[in-house]
């Protein structure tokens, strides 16, 4: 059940595309959208930036510039939100009411975006977050914090907005707790799918046949239209193999986090980061 969706409102030109994708999901499930803007704490940021020996005058000037930039970004974010809601006919609500249907709410906090997105995410059924960019939109730290600390699934849409809830789904399967939780989080989407394909990339010269059979049987017991495809890694990486197959078979990829030993590398290193940045279709992730 998806009834509340959290969407960061960053004040960047990328916001409208993310908003549009979130609304497609909200309409399918008659869900409430919370648009969250996090304004940076200018004083804390200035002190951290000037910690290498800058004097009080330097810090004071930096705070002023950061406050001005934060005000411009917040004003733009609010304008994008208001224009979007007006254009799409979204009712503004801060509490449930009848008749039920898509609705929207503006939320604003001051501080670190990764922290507040995770905090608000605790109470949401789904987070829809744009892909991290170099100079605008959410940061990789925000995506990482939301995934690890919110305990909720993330839907990361592509640059081109969704026009419908995906009806063909690829499950990037590896027998890990993260992949299992991602599968559970994807249940509302799986129940609407017309085609589901489980993609398994063989990493040790053999396809894990038993893992695939168990997963396929479990999904078939739910009455879902599922098949399995075993993939051999291409020359570059298992992630490239998955992306190529997903592009052929699906409009949504469901996956957990894979990678190396350290926490950040384990979640966003290697496989997961490559898929996150390279997928042409939306990615639903859970930790």
pLDDT over threshold 50, residue 262: no
Residue in 173, 222, 236, 154 with CA at minimum distance from that of residue 193: 222
Whole-number percent of the chain with pLDDT over 90: 49
- Is the pLDDT score of 75 beyond 80? yes
pTM: 0.88
Q: What percent of the chain has pLDDT over 70?
A: 79
Would you say residue 52 has pLDDT above 90? no
Best-predicted range by mean pLDDT (22-36, 38-52, 57-71): 22-36
**Better-scored residue on pLDDT, 138 or 239:** 138
- Which band of pLDDT confidence, cut at 50, 70 and 90, is reported for residue 260? very low
Q: Which of 32-41, 184-193, 254-263 has the lowest average pLDDT? A: 254-263
Residue-level pLDDT at 189: 96
**CB environment 184-206: b (16+ within 10 A), e (fewer):** ebbebbbeebebbbbbbbeeeee
By three-state DSSP, how is residue 84 classified? helix
For the chain, the average pLDDT equals 84
- Residue 80 pLDDT more than 70? yes
Average pLDDT (99-107) is 89
Q: What is the mean pLDDT of residues 206-215?
A: 74
pLDDT at 183: 93
Domains of the chain: 4-156 (3.40.50.620), 168-285 (3.40.50.620)
Q: What is the DSSP string of 169-212?
A: EEEE--SSHHHHHHHHHTHHHHTT-SEEEEEEE-SSSS--HHHH
């Amino acid at each position: 059940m998806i009834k509340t969706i959290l969407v960061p409102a960053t004040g960047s030109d990328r916001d409208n595309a993310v908003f549009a994708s979130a609304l497609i999901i909200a309409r399918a499930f008659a869900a409430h959208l919370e648009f969250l803007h996090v304004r940076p704490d200018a004083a804390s940021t200035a002190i951290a930036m000037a910690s290498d020996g800058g004097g009080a005058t330097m810090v004071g000037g930096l705070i002023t510039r950061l406050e001005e930039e934060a005000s411009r970004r917040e004003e733009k974010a609010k304008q994008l939100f208001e224009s979007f809601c007006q254009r799409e006919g979204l009712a503004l609500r801060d509490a449930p009411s009848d008749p039920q249907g898509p609705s929207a709410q503006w939320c604003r906090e001051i501080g670190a975006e990764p922290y507040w997105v995770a905090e608000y995410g605790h109470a949401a059924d789904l987070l829809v977050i744009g892909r991290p960019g170099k100079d605008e939109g959410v940061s990789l730290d925000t995506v990482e914090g939301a995934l690890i600390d919110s305990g909720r699934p993330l839907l990361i849409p592509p640059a081109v907005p969704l026009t419908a809830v995906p009806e063909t789904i690829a499950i990037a399967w590896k027998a890990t707790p993260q992949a299992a939780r991602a599968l559970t989080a994807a249940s509302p989407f799986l129940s609407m799918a017309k085609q589901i394909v489980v993609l398994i990339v063989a990493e040790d010269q053999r396809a894990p046949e038993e893992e695939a059979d168990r997963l396929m049987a479990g999904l078939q017991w739910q009455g879902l239209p599922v098949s399995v495809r075993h993939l051999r890694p291409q020359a570059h990486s298992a992630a490239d193999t998955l992306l190529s197959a997903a592009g052929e078979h699906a409009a949504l990829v469901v996956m957990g986090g894979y990678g190396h030993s350290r926490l950040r590398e384990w979640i966003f290193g290697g496989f997961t980061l490559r898929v996150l940045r390279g997928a042409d279709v939306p990615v639903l992730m859970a930790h």
